[in-house]
Amino acid sequence: MTGSLNHPKSRWVPVPWSDLPGFNDDPLHEAWSALIANCARPNAAFAPLCREVRQLALAETDEQRQWMQARLQPYRVEAFNGQSEGKLTSYYEPVFEASRRPTATHSVPLYQTPLGLVARQPWFTREQIDTLPQAQAALRGREIAWLADPIDVLMLHIQGSGRLRITEADGSQRMVRVAFAATNEQPYRSVQQWLLSQGATKVSLWPDDTKAWVAQNPQRLPQLLWSNPRYVFFREEPLADIDSAAGPVGAQGVPLTAGRSIAVDRESIPYGTPVWLASPGPAAPMAKLVVAQDTGSAIVGAVRADYFAGTGPEAGRLAARVNQPLRLWVLWPKPAN
């Protein structure tokens, strides 16, 4: 067996396949589309295996499992202090009604990137964007669409992408995707943690609990929104019928696969790496093959992952519940003979 491998934020320790809980029970064919998507932009280590991955697309699960055991080596992911348990959270792609122009019911804008924004240079905070004339002037004309609820817009900012059922100026409707384009380079702060600091006792079901708190404290809505200085800007993408089953494009540059893509800290696990994920619950116990294909500002550390639950309300309900223990094993290509 090969030796341990060190990465900037993690150590990978080689283990036998028998260490992977549930490996013989996972329907691997459900994950194969994520592996094939991965091959559109593979990392250098995995690229030589892509021809075989594509050939196995229609194979039986047992044949796929045998191929993995022959071609990949499992490594337990741990911090340098030996800690191998971390945290699993989840995210999803929300779907909202929107209007192409402001109306009496839809008055909260969703913006594309303002002109003059400089990468890695802090821009106006969320509070300043809402209150300063110079910030509002910089965003004038950059509106993509208007939504009805500021919490829904905040949800899009936190999730990083979503779908909008837009009513156009002529009254017609169409579905589009809004994808992450940039941020104001301000720090991310958890709105749920802020609510807890304000004495809220129920914040686990996002965004329903947050909307319930706002309904009881309408005068404090600006405080809640401004507790998170980070602001996200989007780009609009057409959503053809052929794309409707695919998730948004993650940081790797490929579409995410519901239930089989995760966001990671890329200094612990490189994009494009197959990963065995094990989490005992309680909200969603799972042991399954996933692929590291995305990242997020809060996804930091050796054993840390954000599970892409999918699109729409059901995925959102699952994502809201997941905050549970996690173990990870990377499945790294064996050296060529």
DSSP 209-240: HHHHHHHH-GGGHHHHHHTS---EEEEEEE--
Q: b/e for 249-280, b at 16 or more Cβ within 10 A?
A: bbbbebbbbbbbbbbbbbebbbbbbbbbbbbe
One DSSP character per residue, 82-130 reads S---EEEEEEEE-EEEEESS--SS--EEEEBPPTT--TTS----HHHHH
Taking a C-beta distance cutoff of 8 angstroms, is the pair 204, 213 a contact? no
pLDDT reported for residue 37: 94
In whole angstroms, give the CA distance from residue 256 to residue 283: 22
pLDDT reported for residue 243: 61
* Helix-helix angle 150-159:208-216, to 10 degrees: 150
pLDDT reported for residue 241: 56
Query: Which residues partner with 87 through β-bridges?
Result: 304, 325
Tokens standing for 321? 């519940």
Question: What is the CATH code for 93-243?
Answer: 2.40.240.50
Closest CA to 10 of 266, 280, 191, 198: 266
CA 305, 236, 147: angle at the middle one, nearest 5?
85
In whole angstroms, give the CA distance from residue 237 to residue 178: 6
In whole angstroms, give the CA distance from residue 156 to residue 110: 9
pLDDT reported for residue 170: 94
Residue numbers in the chain where pLDDT is lower than 70: 1, 204-205, 240-244, 337
Amino acid identity of residue 248, one-letter, is P
Closest CA to 248 of 148, 139, 162, 131: 162
Question: What is the CATH code for 5-90+249-333?
Answer: 2.40.40.10
Closest CA to 118 of 179, 188, 183, 187: 183
Q: What is the pLDDT of residues 81-124, one digit of tens each?
A: 999 999 999 999 999 999 999 999 999 999 999 998 998 899 99
Q: What is the pLDDT of residues 31-63, one digit of tens each?
A: 999 999 999 999 999 999 999 999 999 999 999
> Does residue 73 sit in helix, strand or coil?
strand
Query: Which residues partner with 76 through β-bridges?
Result: 13, 329
pLDDT reported for residue 208: 81
The model's pTM is 0.85
CB atoms within 10 A of CB 220: 12
In whole angstroms, give the CA distance from residue 223 to residue 234: 23
Domain ranges of the chain: 5-90+249-333, 93-243
